[in-house]
Chains A and B, each alone.
Chain A
């Protein structure tokens, strides 16, 4: 089975990221990591390949330096990667991103596309559905479990009151949640070493036959008008003491506020 996982480098989630004057991310302020939601997709892909055999290709649209971040996902066990990188893409909107990724997917052979529910920086959560639409792929979202048979994929789509069982013929695009895989694996040193020699192919817009004026920052369909930090949360209260005392304190706290 050939699986493509959409992976996005995002600023480290410890909260040191800064925006530049143009309200775009100052990439020097915070080292990039693999978008945590995408790690669940990589983990899901690894499990499918462990069960059924096959290959995993990472697909990323990001500045050229992103190969380093992609290697971290390769170290988990993915087999290769494609990085679409072009100066014209700085400031691209979600729609442009979907167009570029769809064009890149068209150059690849695959049975399944996996991705995370949203990026931790942009947080839009719409690129996946855009890609599926543009590629004409069945779109199965919020998967709490993923099963593949010969030519079909079946997922449990998480839902406020339970789950739905969805099934689609392959190739298809599945949005994977943490529920499906639990924690993503920690890359071993052997994995890190193996990742060094894996091939990451770089593609430009020209390679994909896309017009920079149509998908780049210049053509962005959305624009950031302003930013402000979130309101500071109230102080955390840490409950210490023996298990019994702590439990009583927590129950009292909740009871006072009529939560229970």
Chain B
């Protein structure tokens, strides 16, 4: 028998006691899983290598947590402490088996190393718990909500660590130093004068307290946010692998189907797993532009709401799993009734207003350390509201109708799609004409103009600037003209999957007809939809954002920018040279966050001589939405303050004279934001193509 274990009174009870804890834990989890089984199926398991990679990156290395470095270190110390103290616990409940195996070779040196590691880990974890308590109770960052359960859990973790340290210390004091346990051995030195019986008693007390706390932790774990220590591994492993900018397909022809998400039962079990994995850390809430501007939407509350609904669905269920054999026993059929999982999500997990507040910017998804997916669910709820109940903010009905009838949300006739080309000094060839003339194959790139650039005055200027760049570089390009229609992004993100598929199917057909080698577009929404979503409808096309295309033209020497503000293209002014020198780049969510295009717009801006880039704190994949995404372009913003005003404030803080954008909707939002802001005199919003066009010298 291992000596350390034999010293503990009643040690043979350790295993049964622990097994009891595991059993309660298992039964509670089985109850959760019965609700999982009662809801819709989720995605299949595939791409196991990629999934394993994600597991290492997000669950073991916890990279996302280090976005907030202090919280990251704190969490990692607790995580490491748990894993390492776990070895000791495993040893205790196996009556010293672990020690027996590990301690056998090299004269016990390995076990001494384990004890040393345990000592260090325990001290680290203790410090981390203390810091966490200070944050919860005293410094209280805004994203952390005070909950009793969080504090209880922290105290329990603290207790587990302290009792372990205590047990090792008193053991050393009573029975002599333990090889390797340097810290506790040192702590034991001053205790040596105390009566051995007392020390032995204290050792036994700490030893059993440690085990009791671990068992207690197991028992309460399934009902707290700390369940994430179990679920997050699964959640990370089962993450969405499709491009983040791709919403799930919906079969709009299935007459008997529920369209989108209406009740708990329509969610997939992975969505429930999201709920049971949420750590309530509030990182999503902190990142959310809707929440930041005082709107009812709170992504954390939504995910917790899903968990609450699932919890409610299982109340009243027996602990014993309700299998067919069990059900035959008298009094044992508690049946998970269909009504229990039929609770509606709207007003159950999220308010109706909040559903429509979301700009689908993805900041929440990006921030979540355990890879919870908020956006797909919110759009799923919109789908149900739109496709089944026609329930949506009134002001978007005209946009829906316009997209359906005229192929663009502005409701303009397709015959005016080329009006933006008026005033250009060179012709803009149309694909259909080139095809008729048999010269389509000469085209290097198809310029997907997008509805904004076709119908919005400001965006038309951007289109002219971009076409000017293409022309200056001698790029042979073509446009679709009247044959282009809305990519469908606004419809899809507003939940109108029917109109999206109508538009997208038609576009895929048109694009296939001309088989463009590459598509370039200045609209990140068109870009994302064509690149990531058209493949769902059988259209695989190579798409680049215009900033990337321009960056390549510059790198290849086909475009040579001169000094900033030189009056060579549109938009340049006599005093342009003096004004336009400091630039901040406002990243579009669908470009930077969803598709990782961050360096390219900066490369274009940086190529213009005399420009000094001043970044906002939230840039790149942490960018802050302009307020127009997710179809919010077509909705009133009545709740809270305006998102574009907040983003404008952030831009103005940099002191930059130009806010560079790469999206027509960001352009509208930032232009309006600057017009309404105090102290924005002389500050302008310009597309990266416009900045470049001003500085053009053809190469």
Interface positions of B from 248 to 299, Cβ below 8 Å from A: 252, 255, 259
Interface presence of A188 (CB below 8 A): yes
Write out the residue numbers on chain A whose beta carbons fall within 8 Å of the beta carbon of B388.
188-190
Within 8 A of A (CB), among B218-267: 252, 255, 259
What chain B residues lie within 8 Å of A245 (beta carbons)?
675
Contact partner of A189 (CB less than 8 A), chosen from B411, B413, B457, B498, is: B498
Docked Cα-Cα span, A33 to B411, in Å, equals 14
The B333-355 residues at the A interface (CB cut-off 8 A) are none
**Across the interface, which residues of A come within 8 angstroms of B412, CB to CB?**
14
User: What residues of A have a CB within 8 angstroms of the CB of B50 in the complex?
Assistant: none
Of residues 373 through 427 on chain B, the ones whose CB sits less than 8 Å from some CB of chain A are: 386-390, 392, 394, 397, 400-401, 405-406, 411-415
Contact B400 A190 (CB under 8 A): no
Question: Is the CB–CB distance between A193 and B255 below 8 Å?
Answer: yes
How far, in whole Å, are A242 and B645 apart by their CA atoms in the complex?
Answer: 11
Q: Does chain B have a CB within 8 A of A159?
A: no
A residues in contact with B475, CB < 8 Å: none
Contact A188 B415 (CB under 8 A): no
Contact residue among A14, A187, A191 (Cβ-Cβ distance under 8 Å from B411): A14
Cα(A31)–Cα(B405), bound, Å: 8
Is the CB–CB distance between A188 and B389 below 8 Å? Answer: yes
With contacts A12-B406, A14-B406, A16-B414 taken as known, whether A187 is within 8 angstroms of B676 at the C-beta atoms is no
Give chain A nearest CB distance to B406 CB in angstroms: 5
- CB of A192 within 8 Å of the partner chain: yes
Q: How many B residues have CB within 8 A of the partner chain?
A: 27
How many Å lie between the Cα of A190 and that of B497 in the bound state? 12
A15 at the interface (CB under 8 A from B): yes
B255: chain A residues within 8 A (beta carbon)? 193
Specify which chain A residues have a CB less than 8 angstroms from the CB of B671 in the assembled complex.
240
Q: In the complex the two chains form, is A242's CB within 8 Å of B401's CB? A: no
Residue of A nearest to B256 (CB): A193
Interface membership of chain A positions 1-25, coded 1 if the CB is closer than 8 angstroms to chain B and 0 otherwise: 0000000000010111000000000
Known: A183-B394, A186-B400. A243 touches B676 (CB 8 A): yes
- Report A-chain residues with C-beta under 8 Å of the C-beta of B672: 240
A189 and B675 contacting across the interface, CB-CB below 8 Å: no
CB pair A183 B405 closer than 8 Å: no
Q: In angstroms, how far is the closest chain B Cβ from the Cβ of A209?
A: 37
Bound CA–CA A12/B405 (angstroms): 8
A192 touches B413 (CB 8 A): no
Is A185 interfacial (CB-CB < 8 Å)? yes
Any chain B CB within 8 A of the CB of A241?
yes
Residues of chain A with a CB closer than 8 A to B397's CB: 183, 186
How would you classify the secondary structure of chain B's contact residues: helix, strand, loop or mixed? helix
Closest A residue to B400 using CB positions: A186
Query: In the complex the two chains form, what is the Cα distance from A240 to B676 in whole Å?
Result: 9
Q: Flag if B413 contacts A185 (CB, 8 Å).
A: no
List residues of chain A with CB within 8 A of the CB of B259: 189-190
Mark contacts of B61-89 with chain A using CB atoms, 8 A cut-off: 1 yes-contact digit, 0 otherwise: 00000000000000000000000000000
Which residues on B sit within 8 Å (CB–CB) of A188?
386-390
Closest chain A residue, CB of each to CB of B387: A189
- The interface bits of chain B over 513-531 (1 if a CB of A lies within 8 angstroms of the residue's CB, else 0) are 0000000000000000000
Pick the residue among B401, B414, B415 that contacts A186 (CB under 8 A): B401
In the complex, which residue of chain A has the Cβ closest to the Cβ of B671?
A240
Instruction: Output the nearest chain A residue to B457 by Cβ-Cβ distance.
Output: A238
Give the chain B neighbours of A243 by CB distance below 8 A.
676
Closest to B255 in A: A193
Could you say which residues of chain A place their CB within 8 Å of the CB of B497? 189
CB distance B390 to A241 under 8 Å? Answer: no
Q: How far is the CA of A161 from the CA of B415 in the complex (A)?
A: 41
Contacts of A183 in B (CB 8 A): 394, 397
Give A189 to B257 CA distance when docked, in angstroms: 11
Give CA–CA (A4, B323) in the complex, Å: 56
Measured between beta carbons, the chain A residues less than 8 angstroms from B414 are 16
Q: Say whether B415 contacts A189, CB under 8 Å.
A: no
Distance of A192 Cα from B499 Cα, bound (Å) = 12
Residues of A within 8 A of B392 (CB): 186
Shortest distance from the beta carbon of B683 to any chain A beta carbon, whole Å: 14
Compute how far the CA of A186 lies from the CA of B392 in the bound complex, rounded to whole angstroms.
10
Contact of B405 among A33, A191, A241 (CB under 8 A): A33
Q: Which residues of A contact B413 (CB under 8 A)?
A: 14-16
- List the B side residues contacting A242 at CB < 8 Å: 675-676
Give CA–CA (A245, B387) in the complex, Å.
41
Quick check: A190 and B405 within 8 Å, CB to CB?
no
Q: Which residue of B lies closest to A238 (CB)?
A: B457
1/0 per residue B472-508: CB within 8 Å of A?
Answer: 0000000000000000000000000110000000000
Chain B residue with Cβ nearest A244: B676
Evaluate contact between B675 and A240: CB separation under 8 angstroms: yes
How many Å lie between the Cα of A243 and that of B672 in the bound state? Answer: 10
Instruction: Give the complex CA separation of A12 and B413 in angstroms.
Output: 10
Task: Please report which residues of chain A, range 149-195, place their CB below 8 angstroms from some CB of chain B when the two chains form the complex.
Answer: 183, 185-193
Give 1 or 0 for each of A216-257: 1 = CB within 8 Å of chain B CB.
000000000000000000000010111101000000000000
State whether B252 touches A189 (Cβ < 8 A): yes
**Docked CA distance A183–B252 (Å):** 25
- Chain A residues proximal to chain B, CB less than 8 Å: 12, 14-16, 31, 33, 183, 185-193, 238, 240-243, 245
In the complex, 19 of the A-B residue pairs with CB atoms within 8 angstroms, ordered by the A residue number, are: A12-B405, A12-B406, A14-B412, A14-B413, A15-B413, A16-B413, A16-B415, A33-B405, A183-B397, A185-B390, A187-B390, A188-B388, A189-B259, A189-B386, A189-B388, A189-B498, A190-B259, A190-B387, A242-B676
Taking A15-B413, A189-B387, A243-B676 as given, write out 13 further A-B residue pairs in contact, using a Cβ cutoff of 8 Å, ordered by the A residue number.
A12-B406, A14-B406, A16-B414, A183-B397, A186-B400, A188-B388, A189-B252, A189-B497, A191-B390, A193-B255, A240-B672, A241-B675, A242-B676
8 closest A-B pairs by beta carbon, nearest first, are A189-B387, A14-B413, A188-B390, A242-B676, A186-B397, A16-B413, A189-B498, A241-B675
